[in-house]
Amino acid sequence: MSAPQEMETEDYLRRNRDQWDRMTPIHARSDFYDLEGFKAGRCALMEIDRREVGEVSGRSLLHLQCHFGMDTLSWARRGARVTGVDFSPRAIALAGALAAELALEAEFYCCELTELPNILHRTFDIVFTSGGVLPWLPDLTRWAGVVAHFLDPGGFFYIRDDHPLRSIFEDQEGTEEPRVRYPYFHSDRPMRFAEQGTYADPEADISTESYEWFHSLSDVINALISAGLRIEYLYEFPFATYRALPFLVQGKDGLWRYPRHPESLPLSFSIRAVKGS
């Protein structure tokens, strides 16, 4: 991790997009995503997402930052009319190919999130996003505006993501206890991360470079409120859905916790917010 050289926001986003293009085929081959299992019928959605979003059959659903579409297509299998969006051309190409191979009805668009209102011209019952999306967004106010723009009156937005507090801790292998390393509060200038491998395949023969923005929990909530959405609930959870930090241990339920205080450290959160009728 280091402070990046000063660049325009568009340059940071372009470099991130190039990285996701390079990672997509690696992720598609990884055990982490288990693409073959998904093709055979496995649902890619986390149980918590299925439970909190609820019944989607017959409803329109827009999935923002969808990567290569496994979650999007899982919602389609559950009866939703789905549209997925991501900024990686390679990811969207794979998502479209998966939809065709599996004979699932889905639309996919490739663009920066804030450009979507210029491309897609309809609204949805549900806007959905989850799993490691917020650090890639430089401006949560613009993000929340896009969310609100695409919601039907009475529709809802759902997000489940890493808790912002989780992001402050040392994440180098060998770390056995929580230790603060990164900032909690937002800065317009992102942090630069250079690593070997990816979160889906740490042993992959790839050097990655990413630029990520930190956002506090209040940033997320206030952005949604400022976009005119009503917060229906905010939940915080003492578990991560993957090995987000080196000192987490996986339980029998498949979730990851800090073993010394398994109910004390907030590691993920969910929000459901409604657009007024």
28-80 pLDDT, tens per residue?
Answer: 999 999 999 999 999 999 999 999 999 999 999 999 999 999 999 999 999 99
Question: Does residue 1 sit in helix, strand or coil?
Answer: coil
* Residue 134 within a domain: yes
What's the pLDDT tens digit per position in 2-16? 455 567 999 999 999
Q: Which of 101-105, 180-184, 197-201 has the lowest mean pLDDT?
A: 197-201
Q: Tell me phi and psi for residue 57, to 5 degrees.
A: -55, 125
Residue 64 domain-assigned? yes
Residue 7 has a pLDDT of 79
The predicted structure's pLDDT at residue 216: 97
User: What's at 236, amino acid-wise?
Assistant: E
Residue 4: inside a domain: no
Q: Is the pLDDT assigned to residue 21 strictly greater than 70?
A: yes
Q: Is residue 213 part of a domain?
A: yes
The DSSP secondary-structure symbol of 6 reads P
Q: Is 156 helix (H, G, I), strand (E, B) or coil?
A: strand
Residue 142 lies in a domain: yes
Please, are residues 95 and 68 in contact by the beta-carbon 8 Å criterion? yes
Alpha carbons 241 and 256: distance in angstroms, whole number = 6
In a domain? residue 245: yes
Query: Does the residue 1 lie in any domain?
Result: no
pLDDT at 18: 96
Q: Considering the entire predicted model, what is its pTM? A: 0.94
As a whole number of angstroms, the distance between CA 228 and CA 77 comes to 31
Distance CA 241, CA 197 (A): 19
Query: Which residues are paired to 81 by β-bridges?
Result: 60
Is residue 240 one of the residues assigned to a domain?
A: yes
State yes or no: pLDDT of 122 exceeds 60: yes
Total structural domains within the chain: 1
Q: What is the CATH number of the domain that holds 225?
A: 3.40.50.150
Tell me the C-alpha distance between 24 and 205, whole Å: 13
Domain extent, residue 179, equals 9-275
